[in-house]
Amino acid sequence: MNASRIFIEDLRNGQTIDQVFLVKEKDLRTTKSGDYYISALLGDRTGGIPARMWQATEAVFNSIPSEGFLHVKGRIEDYKGNLQLMIDACRPVGGDKVEMRDFLAVAERDIDEMWSELVEILRTIKTPPLKRLVKKFLEDKTLVTAVKRSPAAMQLHQPYMGGLVEHTLNIVKAAQALLPLYPQLNADLVLAGIFLHDLGKSAELTSGLNIRYTDRGQLVGHITIAAMWVQEKARAVAEEDGEPFPGHIVTLLQHLILSHHGMHEYGSPKLPAIPESFFIHYLDNLDAKIWMTAEAIASDPDKDSHWTSYQRQLETRVYKHSGNLGGPEGVGDEENAPPLFEDRP
């Protein structure tokens, strides 16, 4: 890590900038008077920041790599409550000249350790067909490599390398803790369903310098991809065993995958229709929401405020001091409370 670097999460209004960023997006636009300006999204491992360069030229725009590194001189300004970087000068920088760990977001916990823990839990599955099917996925080295590199989502939660393994392991461990309370659930089906529910993310999203949707991800989507994989792996198990794979198990697993978003408007082709699908949906949503709220607090630029800015995906501001039961100074004062009604972006 570069000790002299100011990471995006630490940027403040009024700071001057003279360092390298990863180019996530760039666009050449024109003002009302017809002058060119550059709109870009720059990033590092802690997040992204919108950037503008006024009085730009096509030559400068073309010199900025679409997915590469850019040394920027400029300043941080506040624009309608959000920080943006105003670029005074910039030049491209080769990948061999930067510290890659400053730009690649990676799970805090070792990915291989998390994967090993996940595999050990999956080994507790006792139902023979389910056990063989899960084993068939675990033996697919190309798939496992992709899963370990994959984020859990584009932006919403765990958007970093190893995020998919972290998310899946969190849900599996939550299920282990709760399953004794619900003996009517089929534990083997739950564990297998959790393992498979987001596996298609490894084909839906790229996991290099920039997280992007693949063509297959855009055209098919991770839910459908994973449901198709279940059919393919079941067929492979049947060929090895020399007997048909139980069709009802394939159907149940596909239902768990197809319904795990819980609502049609959230991308689920089917709504939950068995107890295990409701269980997985709510655990999946729980892990995502806890990550989102914790991240909103950690990344909020106004460290003095008791509340984060409005979080569109959560449809609320997040209170920052729930963990302090003594209460920070000023809690309970009406002037410190967020407005009851506010304009939403």
Rounded to 10 degrees, the C-alpha dihedral 150/154/155/160 comes to 20
Q: What is the pLDDT of residues 75-84, one digit of tens each?
A: 999 988 889 9
57 and 140 co-located in one domain: no
Residue 314 lies in a domain: no
29 and 69 co-located in one domain: yes
Looking at 51, 80, 102, the residue that finishes a domain is 102
Question: For 67, what's the count of Cα atoms within 13 Å in the CB-facing half-sphere?
Answer: 8
Residue 90 is part of a domain; what is its CATH number? 2.40.50.140
Q: What is the pLDDT of residues 8-33, one digit of tens each?
A: 989 999 999 999 999 989 999 999 99
Residue 249 lies in a domain: yes
CA distance 194 to 313: 23
Residue 344 lies in a domain: no
Residue 286 is part of a domain; what is its CATH number? 1.10.3210
The dihedrals phi and psi of 47, each to the nearest 5 degrees, come to: 150, -160
pLDDT of residue 199: 95
- Pairing state of beta strands 36-44 and 69-79? unpaired
pLDDT of residue 98: 87
Looking at 256, 274, 292, the residue that finishes a domain is 292
127 and 251 co-located in one domain: yes
Q: Which two tokens stand for residue 59?
A: 């030559």
Residue type, 8: I
Q: Residue range 209-230: average pLDDT? A: 90
Q: What is the pLDDT of residues 318-344, one digit of tens each?
A: 998 887 777 776 566 555 566 655 555
User: Which residue has tokens 């963990």?
Assistant: 323
97 and 121 co-located in one domain: no
15 and 129 co-located in one domain: no
Q: Tell me: pLDDT of 214 over 50.
A: yes
Q: What is the mean pLDDT of the chain?
A: 90
133 and 66 co-located in one domain: no
215 and 79 co-located in one domain: no
29-38, 110-119, 198-207, 231-240: range with lowest mean pLDDT? 198-207
Q: What is the pLDDT of residues 163-183, one digit of tens each?
A: 999 999 999 999 999 999 999
Q: Residue range 122-147: average pLDDT? A: 96
The dihedrals phi and psi of 141, each to the nearest 5 degrees, come to: -65, -40
191 and 278 co-located in one domain: yes
Residue 243 lies in a domain: yes
57 and 158 co-located in one domain: no
pLDDT of residue 329: 67
Between the two ends of the chain, the Cα-to-Cα distance in Å is: 35
- The pTM of this model reads 0.76
Give how many domains the chain has, as a whole number.
2
Q: Tell me: pLDDT of 66 over 60.
A: yes
Looking at 52, 67, 102, the residue that finishes a domain is 102
- 289: confidence class by pLDDT, cuts 50, 70, 90: very high
DSSP 193: H
> Residue 205's closest CA among 152, 250, 132?
152
Residue 58 lies in a domain: yes
CA distance 60 to 2: 27
pLDDT of residue 158: 86
Residue 324 lies in a domain: no
Residue 297 lies in a domain: no
285 and 197 co-located in one domain: yes
Residue 49: domain span: 8-102
Q: Tell me: pLDDT of 1 over 60.
A: no
Q: Distances in Å between the alpha carbon of 45 and those of 103, 256, 321, 342?
A: 4, 33, 26, 32
